[in-house]
Amino acid sequence: MGPRAGERGRLLLTVAVVLTLPPRPAGSWGARIIGGHEVMPHSRPYMVSVQFEGQHHCGGFLLRARWVVSAAHCFSHRDPRTGLVVLGAHVLRAPEPTQQVFGISAVIRHPDYQPDIHANDICLLLLNSSAVLGPAVGLLKLPRRDARPLKAGAQCQVAGWGSVSDFEDLPPGLMEAEVRVLSLDVCNSSWRGQLSPAMLCTQSGDRRRRGFCSADSGGPLVCRNRAHGLVSFSGLWCGDRKTPDVYTQVSAFVSWIWDVVRRPRPSPLPRTTGSLRSHQNHNSTGDRDGMANDSDSSFPRNPMAWQVIHRPPQAPGKPGGYGVGVGQETASVPNPNDQIKR
């Protein structure tokens, strides 16, 4: 039995509204980690939310009490002096007693970061004071210095608070997806040979769409309780097996990370906004730089290890690029393969 006249009218009106909606930015059809689930609150205490203007912008993880690891592209068009780092969160839309909020004293990106090809997409954030470690705020280990690359098929987890358009609410809490490591050779064939050896790929391992999406950038890919990857970029559609998710391979940067962390600290960035919103971590005491894992001092001291961002804010977007929603990083698309920085 066909629809009645009134029902046909409502149907036509619905179709007309859908057809006249403005197109969403690439990758914005998924409002959160794709194919994942909400984790138990504070079960991933190392997770970091990098925020600008009160909006979640990127992820990251806590390495030491004053050091966060994230993706370099998260700060390509942002003034870090206006950013905040939130620890101990599960739901971002409301204050939680477990949350600790910090300013950013310095952003140190890898000296060989190449935004056009996404190479060496990694940075360190120095917080303006030390986090208070506890059940809701903890550290995540790096891979061992002698760690071999992960084998294809290895099971890992990627987590984030990704919200991807002006019209999407934040997810109900921190989301996580189970993914499988993909051979770099196989992944590189999907990406037409554009990947470098210091990258890592994952896909769902089955026919489902599963992986990260916009505003998950900088979050860790956790394999065997260590951070083996940092969310960097993916294809036009989140979780699409045709364009596997690409991460910065953390094991390639362990020496550089510890070199930066152990050097004398750079001078703080001057703040350009008012005082930070009230938070519990003011003048915290205790282990100033709680260690996440053992490391040795035998690696060479690289005089180029510091590349501190001290630049004024720039207008989001550049030729060939476009914004990925309110509060998200600006995506740069350097070629027609629809690479999207998440």
Q: Per residue in 93-125, pLDDT tens?
A: 888 999 999 999 999 999 999 999 999 999 999
Q: Write down the pLDDT at residue 28.
A: 30
Q: Write down the pLDDT at residue 94.
A: 86
Least confident of 3-12, 301-310, 321-330: 321-330
Q: Is the predicted pLDDT of residue 273 greater than 80, yes or no?
A: no
Average the pLDDT over 49-75 and give the result. 96
Domain boundaries, the chain: 37-271+281-341
Q: Write down the pLDDT at residue 41.
A: 97
Query: What is the distance between the alpha carbons of residues 310 and 270, in angstroms, rounded to a whole number?
Result: 9
Catalytic residue among 42, 56, 57, 73: 73
Contact 161, 92 (CB under 8 A): yes
Q: Is the predicted pLDDT of residue 181 greater than 90, yes or no?
A: yes
Count the neighbouring beta carbons within 10 Å of the beta carbon of residue 191. 18
Q: Is the predicted pLDDT of residue 296 greater than 70, yes or no?
A: no
Q: Write down the pLDDT at residue 339.
A: 60
Catalytic residue among 79, 121, 216, 259: 121
Contacts of residue 214, defined as CB under 8 A and 6 or more positions apart, other chains included, come to 25, 27, 28, 162, 163, 164, 238, 324, 325, 328, 329, 331, 340, 342
Active site includes 73? Answer: yes
Least confident of 5-9, 154-158, 305-309: 305-309
Contact 232, 246 (CB under 8 A): yes
Helix, strand, coil percentages, rounded to 5, for the chain: 15, 25, 60
Q: Write down the pLDDT at residue 205.
A: 75
Residue 247, token pair as written in the block: 């991460």
Q: Which residue did the predictor score with more confidence, 214 or 244? A: 244
Active site includes 121? Answer: yes
Q: Is the predicted pLDDT of residue 159 greater than 70, yes or no?
A: yes
Average the pLDDT over 16-26 and give the result. 34
Q: Is the predicted pLDDT of residue 302 greater than 70, yes or no?
A: no
Query: What is the distance between the alpha carbons of residues 312 and 115, in angstroms, rounded to a whole number?
Result: 18
What Cα–Cα distance (Å) separates residue 276 from each residue in 101, 223, 283? 8, 34, 13
Contact 64, 54 (CB under 8 A): no
Least confident of 60-69, 150-159, 183-192, 269-278: 269-278
Query: What is the distance between the alpha carbons of residues 167 and 150, in angstroms, rounded to a whole number?
Result: 38
Average the pLDDT over 181-200 and give the result. 94
Q: Is the predicted pLDDT of residue 257 greater than 70, yes or no?
A: yes
Strand extents, DSSP E, the chain:
37-38, 47-52, 55-64, 67-70, 83-87, 100-109, 123-127, 155-160, 175-182, 199-203, 220-223, 226-234, 245-249, 321-323, 330-332, 340-341
Active site includes 118? Answer: no
Identity of the residue numbered 139: L
Q: At 261, is the pLDDT very low, low, confident or very high (cuts 50, 70, 90)? A: very high
Contact 307, 266 (CB under 8 A): no
Count the neighbouring beta carbons within 10 Å of the beta carbon of residue 286. 10
- Residues pairing with 52 in the sheet: 55, 83
Q: Is the predicted pLDDT of residue 46 greater than 90, yes or no?
A: yes
Q: Write down the pLDDT at residue 309.
A: 38
Contact 185, 196 (CB under 8 A): no
Count the neighbouring beta carbons within 10 Å of the beta carbon of residue 312. 7
- What mean pLDDT, rounded, does the chain reach? 75
Burial class of residue 3 in the structure, from the number of CB atoms within 10 Å of its CB (0-12 exposed, 13-18 middle, 19+ buried)? exposed
Q: Write down the pLDDT at residue 160.
A: 94
Q: Which fold has domain 37-271+281-341?
A: Thrombin, subunit H (2.40.10)
Backbone angles phi, psi at 191, to 5 degrees: -100, 20
User: Of 137, 327, 309, 294, whose CA–CA distance to 226 is shortest?
Assistant: 294
Q: Write down the pLDDT at residue 327.
A: 29
Q: Write down the pLDDT at residue 240.
A: 83
Q: Is the predicted pLDDT of residue 63 greater than 60, yes or no?
A: yes
Q: Write down the pLDDT at residue 108.
A: 97
Q: At 35, is the pLDDT very low, low, confident or very high (cuts 50, 70, 90)? A: confident
Q: Which pTM was predicted? A: 0.74
Catalytic residue among 70, 76, 130, 217: 217
DSSP notation for 307-337: -B-------S--TTEEE-STTSPEEE--STT
Structure letter (DSSP) for residue 135: S
Q: Write down the pLDDT at residue 213.
A: 82
